[in-house]
Structure 1
Amino acid sequence: MASSGTRRAAVKPAPSATPTSGSASVAAIAAPPRVGEQIQRLRAERRMTLDDLSRAAGVSKSMLSEIERDKANPTIAVAWRLTNALGVSLDSLFAPQKTPEGIAVSGPHDIPTLSGHDAKYQLRVWGPIELAGKFEWYELTLQAGGALVSNAHEPGTREHLTVLQGSIEIEAAGATKRLKAADTARYVADEPHAIRNAGKGEAKALLVVIHG
């Protein structure tokens, strides 16, 4: 809602809870990739038996079995022969595998915020960062007397604001409207516009920005 340059420069992700020192983090960084597990997965995907891969790569079946069970580490030459037989690049064998996640959960400390202390507002950035500049949504909190005043966004940009608590005044396109809880305003945002707390207490709203 604030001008895009100002908003993006000021938004700072919450500090990571991941430790930066100590034995746990060092162990996580130093842990080698499970090469044998990856070879076994790739072989299974191609419906190859141990004998098939052993013959194709020129690696003994017993050695291949030890490697797949992570009982032995292959040399670079052996790893190259195995990946060549499997039809993958050598570097992909050592790349960490991404585990599909059906539901990704972000906690309250993972949500970036933008605070306008003098203007008495706070924006919590609920939308994912990869959609920034295209489709964004925020939780806007306005203290008494607070206002979020913005310059024009890209041509064709529109905003949709739903009041969750309190009373809010929208100024856009040369008009002014006052909203109460559960009201929704939709308005052009490719010209200067403003959102103001029209009450005496705290106001909250869901703000959706669809960029042109």
Structure 2
Amino acid sequence: MAQSPLSKPPAGDPPYVGATLQALRQAQELSLDDLSRKAGVSKSMLSQIERNQANPTVAVVWRLANALGVGVAELLTGQRAAAPALVTVPAHATPSLKSPDGKCELRILGPIELAGQFEWYELTVQPGGRLESEAHEPGSREHLTVLGGTLEVRAGNDSSRLKHGETARYAVDMPHAIANPGKTVASALLIVLHTA
């Protein structure tokens, strides 16, 4: 006799993930075909899992969780893991980007899930270094606070030279650049606010 989607497995049996899988799939408005393509799991297998007629292997659970953007534990239990109150990112785990000439480095301080909305960076510019950027979305702005040295900011036809402690707020829906005209390394905090 088939188990109902909401029934619990007998003690000692693997968990039924059918109801959770179906709820997550429907919440994301995915058809069985969509999820099949996204996860690399056959449509017939997905249908059997959702009806609790088959229990997926660990590899299949992992593929489904990744395709749905949830943790494996959430797929197995139906409960989202509580986010920790505090997360510490070690210095060596902070990703960074360098300009083609190697004279500018951006350490990415913001979480990846906010990329494209709100980003913040620690910027280091060697003497003579220049960080050129193309226009961002209409209405986007940057906020640059110099922590050490001197930086020159250009947005469109406007430019300003900043020294320690000064902040520039400027439109970035046009070509813009940050340069170090000084003889010492400059550092700054750079915030990018994208429009919705």
Task: Point out the structure with max Rg over C-alpha.
Answer: 1
Q: Which residue of 1 aligns with 2:119?
A: 136
**Identity of counterpart residues, as a percentage?**
47
Describe the SS at the equivalent of 1:179.
strand
- Aligned-pair CA distance for 1:175: 1.3
User: What CA RMSD, in Å, does the superposition of the two structures yield over aligned residues?
Assistant: 2.8
TM-score (normalizing by structure 2): 0.61
The answer to whether structure 1 residue 179 and structure 2 residue 117 are counterparts is no
5+ residue gaps, structure 2: 1-6, 20-49, 56-73
Q: Which residue of 1 aligns with 2:69?
A: none
* Paired residues for 1:29-108 under 5 Å: 74-75=12-13, 94-95=76-77, 98-108=81-91
TM-score (normalizing by structure 1): 0.57
Question: With CA pairs under 8 Å and 6+ residues apart, which has the higher RCO, 1 or 2?
Answer: 1
* Paired residues for 1:104-183 under 5 Å: 104-118=87-101, 120-183=103-166
Q: Which residue of 1 aligns with 2:171?
A: 188
5+ residue gaps, structure 1: 1-55, 60-66, 68-73, 84-88
CA distance in 1 between partners of 2:171 and 2:75 (Å): 51
Q: Write out per-residue CA displacement over residues 79-123 of structure 1, whole angstroms, 9 at most, x where no aligned residue.
A: 66xx9xxxxx97868448625411011111221110114151000
Change (3 A) 1:172 1:119: farther
CA distance in 1 between partners of 2:191 and 2:89 (Å): 19
Q: Which residue of 2 aligns with 1:36?
A: none
Q: Write out per-residue CA displacement over residues 168-189 of structure 1, whole angstroms, 9 at most, x where no aligned residue.
A: 0011131111000000000010
Describe the SS at the equivalent of 2:159.
strand
CA distance in 1 between partners of 2:147 and 2:75 (Å): 50
